[in-house]
Amino acid sequence: MSSIIETLYELKYNPFEYGAYLSSFYATLDESENNLLLASLVIPLCSHPFFGQKIHNSNIRSSMWSIFEDRTKLYDLQERIDEFQELTEQCINYCLINDWLSVNEQNLSISACDKSDSTCINQKRAEQLGKLFKGHSVVEIYAFLGVKPR
Q: Which residues pair with 124 in a beta bridge?
A: none
Q: Is 108 left (phi over 0), alpha (psi -120 to 50) or beta?
A: left
Residue type, 105: E
Instruction: Supply the pTM of this predicted model.
Output: 0.88
Is there a contact between 68 and 133 (Cβ–Cβ < 8 Å)? no
Hey, is 110 helix, strand or coil? strand
The chain-wide mean pLDDT, for the chain, equals 88
Measured in whole angstroms, how far is the alpha carbon of residue 120 from the centre of its chain?
Answer: 15
Among 51-55, 60-64, 98-102, 114-118, the range scoring the smallest mean pLDDT is 114-118
Phi, psi of 135 (to 5 degrees): 90, -5
Q: Measure the CA–CA gap between 59 and 131, rounded to whole angstroms.
A: 10
Q: Which pLDDT does position 73 carry in this prediction? A: 85
Q: Which pLDDT does position 2 carry in this prediction? A: 66
Is there a contact between 128 and 64 (Cβ–Cβ < 8 Å)? no
The DSSP H or E segment spanning 104 is strand 101-104
The DSSP H or E segment spanning 131 is helix 124-133
What is the mean pLDDT of the segment spanning 3-28?
Answer: 85
